[in-house]
Amino acid sequence: MRKRRRRFDRNGDPEDVPSVRLKLLCRTLREDATRLGSRVCFFKTPYMLREGAQADLARTIAVLPHLFYVDLPEGLYSDDPAYATLRLEVEARCPNLQKMTYRGGSERSLARLAHGRIWRNLQVLELIKINMDPNILRQVLGALRHLRALKVTESKTFTDDVFAYNEMLPPFPALQQLVLTKTPGITSVGLVEYLSWPEARMTLEDLSLVKTGVEIPFLHEVVIAATSLKSLAVQASVDGPFRSGSHTQRLTSGSLETLRFEISSDSNANAYSSAASTYYTYLASSILGGGLKNLRAVYVLDEDFADQLQGLPPPPLPRAPFAQGAGLRPQSSGSGMSMMSTSPRAGFHAPPPNAANSDLAPPRRPFAPSAPASNRFSSNNPFAGTGSLTHTLEVFAKRDEAMNWSFVKVSPDAALAPSSSRYSMVGGMRHDRPVSAYGLGADVASQGWNTPGARRSVMVGNGAGGFVAIPPHEPAGLRPAGEGLWPH
């Protein structure tokens, strides 16, 4: 009945719609558990619902024997005594779960996995603030024969000892995806020892290192050892410039396709320090050196990184608008290209009248041996003297994590094209929209790095404070010729 604005008889309190829907779903599944309950593989519930409707959640799970993934209350992951009955129900009724999370306080339940009696088919395992003996953790991981993805967050006991060879313990499983976040005990030595095992070296495809003990000058050892690596994510805060030595080499990989290289200056460092820029110089030299031949996308926290790949000088300092020659780049001696700029910040400047017959050659690259030395690439830099870009590369850059990604498509012949073709959002791309993966590795397959904020599409306003609706997906063959991504 429609509610009326009266002083009395307001039709009672409104009912909790999510709880009612869960009761109806539970009744439907329990009435025909053989035909309907056995077909359910994923069970997603809102946060407030699963936290307050434990009884209905347990009654529903009891008739879903083939579940691969289920949303459970947060207290169950940390062995809260209030959720002990629900945990026993899940262990008994859902033996085929493929993803499970353990939080701090659930070390005893995690150790039970080593006996191989519950959840033997786990494929994705997430450990949050787990502190337990590395030998026990090694036995747990060795018992999970189907494990393919592991995510460890904020663990001080997860160190290189977990990867160490031990005849009394099963080997560390060969993982396809490994995400390590805030694990200072993991260094390049432990990862190289793990990747020395041939099966692990050929299986690992996604590796994420967020604030770990792996130092950037030693990152090349891990990249070289992981011969099948396709996606690498590195995030670190540095307090000093890049320190190179006789052991330091450029990044080299024949399989790496996506690289997230997010290096920022430490909060305690000088606000005007350029320590992080030296790390991006090292990355640019690795790309221009030809060591990353299959690299197609790179994410950096440096807005000038695309200019480094094209060999452009750094942008000029801001000057007063009334100053003579404001907005023009200073001309360099011995170069005829100083009269034209392809940088997106300086725009296009027409050459002076006396330069009508000058050669329009691309700007010299500071990595080339014949190029004059600059402040960023001085003669003391061991990574200077590299070649030119050999393949097209997509660069996603931003200044800090609070900003949105800007997309730049850099190609070897981009210097010969107008600047608008280099620094523009590429429209009309035929990539499919991302599909949500419910539970199985969606948050450990480096998807936390490839957030929806780093997209090639453009948000189009509708004039009323919102955005134009997403067009329906149509096969490429049914789309009329000449029609772009957004229909008329």
Residues 310-337 have pLDDT tens digits of 765 555 544 444 444 444 444 443 333 3
For residue 188, tell me if it sits in a domain. Answer: no
Quote the crossing angle between the two packed helices 54-61 and 84-93, to the nearest 10°: 10
Integer Cα distance of 160 and 198 in angstroms? 18
Which residue is listed with tokens 């419910």?
438
For residue 175, tell me if it sits in a domain. Answer: no
Q: Where are the beta strands (DSSP E) in 63-192?
A: 69-70, 99-103, 124-128, 149-153, 177-181
> In the chain, count of helices (H) and strands (E)?
13, 12
Q: What is the pLDDT of residues 151-186, one digit of tens each?
A: 999 999 999 999 998 889 999 999 999 999 999 999
Integer Cα distance of 339 and 381 in angstroms? 28
Q: What is the pTM of this model?
A: 0.72
Token pair for 376: 């960023």
For residue 87, tell me if it sits in a domain. Answer: yes
Q: What is the pLDDT of residues 358-412, one digit of tens each?
A: 343 444 444 343 333 334 444 345 555 456 777 888 999 888 777 788 888 888 7
Neighbours of 193 (CB within 10 A): 17
Weakest-pLDDT range from 70-84, 131-145, 225-239, 377-391: 377-391
- For 30, the domain range is 21-96
Give the pLDDT mean for 56-81. Answer: 91
Task: Please say whether the dihedral angle defined by the alpha carbons of residues 339, 302, 392 and 418, taken in this order, is positive or negative.
Answer: negative
Total number of domains constituting the chain: 1
For residue 348, tell me if it sits in a domain. Answer: no
244 pLDDT band, cuts 50/70/90, is: confident
Token pair for 487: 């229909």
For residue 32, tell me if it sits in a domain. Answer: yes
For residue 54, tell me if it sits in a domain. Answer: yes
| Three-state SS at 102 | strand
CB 265 within 8 Å of CB 239: yes
- Considering only CA atoms, give the Rg of the chain: 28
Task: Please say whether the dihedral angle defined by the alpha carbons of residues 415, 418, 420 and 424, taken in this order, is positive or negative.
Answer: negative
For residue 393, tell me if it sits in a domain. Answer: no
For residue 475, tell me if it sits in a domain. Answer: no
